[in-house]
Structure 1
Amino acid sequence: MNARVKAGYSIFLSAIIAVAMQTSVISQEKNSELYVSLKGNDNASGTRELPFRSIQHAVKNAVPGTAIYVHGGVYNESVYVDKSGTSEKYITIQNYPGEKPVLDLKFEKPFGFAIEGSYIIIRGFEIKNVSCDMELKPDIKGNPPSIIGGVMILPPAHHCRIENNLIHHIIGNKKKTPDGIYVENGTDFITIKNNTIHNVAGRTEAMGILACAGEGFLISNNLVYFCDKEGIRIMSRKYDSENTVENNIVLYCHMGISFNSCWSDRKTVGKNNFCGWNWGRGMNPKHTKNVVLEHNTIYGNEEWGIDIHGNGQSTKKDNTNPRVMNNIFSMNSVSWLLLRSQIFSGLADYNFYQYKNGAVLGAFSSEPGDVCYNLNEVREKTKKSKSFVSSCEMHGIAGDPMFTASERFDFRLNASSPAKNAGSDGRDMGVLEEALKSVGADGLYSLAKIPDLGKIKATVESFSSETPEGKAANLVDGNRNSFWEVDCKKDKEKEVIFKFPAEYEIENIIITKYGGGEKYFYKDFELYYLGNSSGDWKKVPPSPEHPFSGFGIIYNGEIWTLPPSIKTQKLKLKIFSSYGETIRIPEILFFKKNK
């Protein structure tokens, strides 16, 4: 385990292990199958007829080849896995067929599963309500542990598979960053597949999947949404590695998929991913070498479709040999940003563009002359740039990709689409229909069925103030580059009332961050809903683990889940304090409860 993480969790893990060692280990001959039930007993034999009570005790009795079957019900335990299987005999911890075990940590524990062993499979669990305020032992430098997670894979683990799990409401705080699935440096051959991960919040760097990859990582067929930072981030500084992020759906995160500090001499591949409606960027490769982005559909992102950038230091060759091919960019605020001072030997071609009226197609610096509004300008300006191996988008297409029914979340291409069979490989541009199938836990989603998360169209009914530059209506205009601005010296109320088309049970709210720095951030706010039966404003009670307090530099996030039964047609936001004299909020999004 990483020394910093291991030191921090040693007290917590030792308590778990002590409980697990209270009874003797069963003889290996009887351990091919072990069973766990809420009706079981850890002094029993762990058989189908006499199951254990705790998952941790079953792990203690596991040997290579053991399958641990966990019956349905709610378990309030964190599980530490330091046992290992072999290449031919994995240790599997999974749901009993047809049943759903739930690890509910009640916001009192820092992880669902923590894995240090190898050849391990975790399958078929719901893991929820992970957080931790306990003071854990600091490392030798006095630094407190900083990560909590639904599933954590830690060195020296290798050959682990995390499959078909539902992981949600992983909430950070001032000291700890949450991740749905966290994989530490020093691990290899990790597969993260067919998981659904959502509502990872409470701190700026909250991510659905954070994989600090070694060799042989596969992140595939996951559904990720409602994360304060990236839905998926992969990092790798192992030069001889090759890792793949494919067939994922990432929605309504600050950024969709990030390739950060991937320095492979081979390649890191991102393909057949759907990144939609993220309020920042769809994809964000930065500080990379040999990143290949192909056959992705980047739709409706509010800042950039793809942003390739670094620190601009040419001696470091910060983004070397990126390839952006055969993708569809549709209805993003800006299709892509390629900063030529930070790119070396890059190429973008065979991509399809549908952009909003007046939107910038691409930009190569902040200079006005480096902005492109059509493909001809892209071809001409990249021809003159040393950042690219040749003119970009010589085979690019602009127009309507003709999705089957985007209003019904069906993003297959119509048979007459100009993107059909138009890729460099003779296949369709964008996500391939045959690739994006069986996504998420239980494989419910596909390119023909991108999930509808219940976003509600809202209008601004009234507000306490605005400025000429920052109208209140900008909060719901779908443009993250505009904002609502409040002069805190003049406006003591600092409130706005939203109205919905009908009465809905509001489940999630996203308050996006303004990118101009802390001086524009709010500190504390309250929400009120209008009770239709009484006609009175009622206060929305915040959850103790994720209070309605402001963003700050690294805290407190942008996504909040409201308590059940907040059913209303009007919602009021009231801000109490700020870091500076002016507050700016780009956009607020509302989501109803979906069946």
Structure 2
Amino acid sequence: MYKLGGCRESCRESSPLALVLIFFVCFSYHTYANAVVAGAYYVSGSGSDSNDGLSRNEGGDGPWRTIQHAAQTLTAGETVYIREGTYSEYAPIQGSSKVWGVRPKNSGTANGYISYIAYPGERVILDTNFQSACFTLYGIKYVRIEGFEMRNCSGAGIWVRSGSSTENSHIVLNANHIHGINDSAGRNVAGIRMDHVGYSTISNNIIHNVRVGGEHNGNAAGVLSYRMHNVIIENNEFFDIFSGIFHKAPANEVRKSGIFRKNLFHDTSRAIYINTNETISGYHNGTEVSHNVVYDSGRFIYDHTHQAKIQNTGLKVYNNTIIGTEFGIRGFDKVEFYNNILVDGAGVSTTYQSHVFSSSNTRKAPSILLSDYNLYSADFVARIGIYSGDEKKFSSLKSWQDSGALFTIDVGASGADAHSIIADPMFVNRSLRDYRLQKSSPAKTMGVGGGAVGAYVNNNDIIGPVISRFTDTPSLPVSPVLF
């Protein structure tokens, strides 16, 4: 478990802007626990692309000047460290007219990733002045991008693009601070955009302040994807964005969609947004959403998938701590919802229009296979069949439990949420957003098999980026900042 130490003390009297910057500097420093790799290449503002890129201490000519030169040079198994400074590199690479920012040429291998890493303990900024994405990957495999601050990028901070004959895969995007991302009205904009990509990991990033045409817009997200599969999104913080994660279209093939776990979502309109429509042949399959903390967000999961040709299936939502919003589904079947804490606006809902009965080939009603072992607050409400013309509303957990199996509720005869309770979860310090559990919390032992419910199964679990905000005494939370 990482600790903020002196950084925590520095945060106490800092402005909101400084809080973000101090947190990221401390975060970057602690993320790189390993020594710098011997034989690596270097980029520095004082370097030259005519150098060999190797350290003079190791007998080389010295660093290159541009990240783009490194991106056109590195091959499998090689690493480049970028030294402190601000880099604005958006011009097309040789032989291309695409203004795509830094664009790696080569892929690594399973045993030899190509790594682009901000030098440990230094602030490395990529800023394209809204001319392009900061990084673009196109038909690339086995690449790692780590430790950068990316700002004033157009379209995305990191854009993994579709269109190549080679599928993007095995990409690791770790410990980046991405903010100030924008593009023109009508575009899809993201901190990280993942199109036609599989078997990749997005971890420990801080992503905020993403806009479309300068506005807070439904097409803006922390991570936005068309057709990603088998992607793990974990230990990130998303805020000041319309959606934290927006999986806009599933893969065409039957593949596991993704695992979204241990993320911190706040100050979003939708923490997670899942979508598909009649023009898409694939469907979302086996998505897992677990161990996330959500607060100050309009929706936890916004499922807008009722128009799919093939019904989405197998959504599992477990061990999340959700403050101030409900859990609702619209286009998934075989949904499992268990071991969650929902308070201050707790509830469960399904939504479907009446035409699911008359247009069964294109309109699918959702169904919940399991809803149980959840802790709710006293304001619990369940609503089944919103917009169906035959909505059923249950204003207490008891009436919901007694309702038995309903249409779109495929639970056993004992009814929904048979083992769920209304209780105070007894958070360590709700006012400081510390949603760990006190020793005497009923949430500690009420879950499946006697385990804990909510995101913090153990109090040393880390939700969000790898530095815990809560050491012996809680540190100040990072406030959303526009800059």
Residue matched to 2:123: 100
Q: Which residue of 1 aligns with 2:171?
A: 160
- How is 1:38-437 mapped onto 2 (pairs within 5 angstroms)? 38-49=45-56, 50-77=62-89, 78-107=101-130, 109-116=131-138, 117-131=140-154, 148-155=155-162, 156-185=167-196, 187-202=197-212, 203-228=217-242, 230-234=243-247, 235-237=249-251, 238-241=253-256, 243-261=258-276, 263=283, 267-278=286-297, 280-287=298-305, 288-301=312-325, 305-310=326-331, 319-332=332-345, 334-339=346-351, 342-344=365-367, 346-356=369-379, 360-366=381-387, 370-385=392-407, 387-390=409-412, 391-434=415-458, 437=461
The Cα shift of 1:92 comes to 0.1
How far is the alpha carbon of 1:429 from its aligned partner?
Answer: 1.1
Specify the structure having the higher radius of gyration (Cα). Answer: 1
Once residues 438 and 189 of structure 2 are traced to their aligned partners in structure 1, the CA distance between those partners, rounded to angstroms, is 40
User: Deviation of residue 110 (structure 1)?
Assistant: 2.2
Equivalent residues of 1:277, 1:299 under 8 A apart: yes
- Counterpart-to-counterpart distance in 1, 2:66 and 2:441: 55
Q: Secondary structure at the match of 1:258?
A: strand
- The percent of aligned pairs where both chains have the same amino acid is 26
Cα deviation for residue 35 of structure 1 reads: 0.5
C-alpha displacement of 1:259: 3.4
CA distance in structure 1 between the aligned counterparts of 2:158 and 2:66, rounded to whole angstroms: 18
Q: Which amino acid aligns with 2:198?
A: D
CA-to-partner distance for each residue in 1:35-92, whole Å, 9 max, x for gaps?
1000111111111231111000011111111101000111111201131011101000
Cα shift at 1:306: 1.4
Please give the alpha-carbon distance, in whole angstroms, between the structure 1 residues aligned to 2:190 and 2:392.
Answer: 37
Question: Which SS does the other structure have where 1:253 is aligned?
Answer: strand
State the shift of 1:178 in Å: 1.4
Q: Could you tell me whether the CA contact under 8 Å between 2:172 and 2:200 is conserved in 1?
A: yes
How many angstroms does 1:173 deviate by? 2.4
TM-score, with structure 2 as normaliser:
0.75
Give the number of aligned pairs: 393
Structure 1 residue identity aligned to 2:328:
D
**1:33 and 2:56 correspond:** no
Structure 1: which 5+ residue stretches go unaligned?
Answer: 1-30, 132-147, 311-318, 455-506, 509-560, 564-595
TM-score by length of 1: 0.62
Rounded to whole Å, the distance in 2 between the matches of 1:216 and 1:450 is 34
Equivalent residues of 2:76, 2:107 under 8 A apart: yes
- For residue 426 of structure 1, what is the amino acid of its counterpart? G
Shift of 1:100: 2.0
The question of whether the paired residues in 2 share the 8 Å contact of 1:257 and 1:275 is answered with no
CA 1:44/1:281 → structure 2, altered by over 3 Å: closer, same or farther? same
Distance 1:299 1:450, change over 3 A: farther
CA RMSD, aligned part only? 2.6
**Distance in 2 (alpha carbons) for counterparts of 1:386 and 1:47:** 62
Q: CA deviation at 1:424?
A: 1.4
Question: In structure 1, how many angstroms separate the alpha carbons of the residues matched to 2:368 and 2:350?
Answer: 12
d(CA) in 2 for partners of 1:427, 1:211: 34
CA contact (8 A) 1:214 1:241 kept: no
* 1:452 equivalenced with 2:477 (yes/no): yes
**Structure 1 residue 336 displacement after superposition:** 2.6
Aligned residue type for 1:275: V
1:168, 1:37 → 2: CA distance? 23
Provide the secondary structure at the position in 2 that maps to 1:378.
helix
Q: Give the superposition deviation at 1:415.
A: 1.6
Residue 400 of structure 2: SS of its match in structure 1?
A: helix
Structure 2 distance, partners of 1:384, 1:438, is 38
Q: Is the 8 A contact 1:74 1:101 kept in 2?
A: yes
Aligned to 2:31: none
Aligned-residue offset at 1:410: 1.1
Q: Which moved more, 1:98-107 or 1:118-127?
A: 98-107
Give yes or no for contact 1:370–1:381 (8 Å, CA) kept in 2: no
Q: Helix, strand or coil for the counterpart of 1:58?
A: helix
The structure-2 alpha-carbon separation of the partners of 1:183 and 1:189, relative to structure 1 and needing over 3 Å to count, comes to: same
Q: Please tell me whether the aligned partners of residues 115 and 144 of structure 2 are also in contact (alpha carbons under 8 angstroms).
A: yes
CA contact (8 A) 2:321 2:455 kept: yes
Deviations along 1:467-503, whole A, 9 cap, x unmatched? xxxxxxxxxxxxxxxxxxxxxxxxxxxxxxxxxxxxx
Asked whether the equivalents of residues 125 and 149 of structure 2 are also in contact (C-alpha less than 8 Å), the reply is yes
Residue segments in structure 2 that go unaligned for 5+ positions in a row: 1-37, 57-61, 90-100, 277-281, 306-311, 357-364
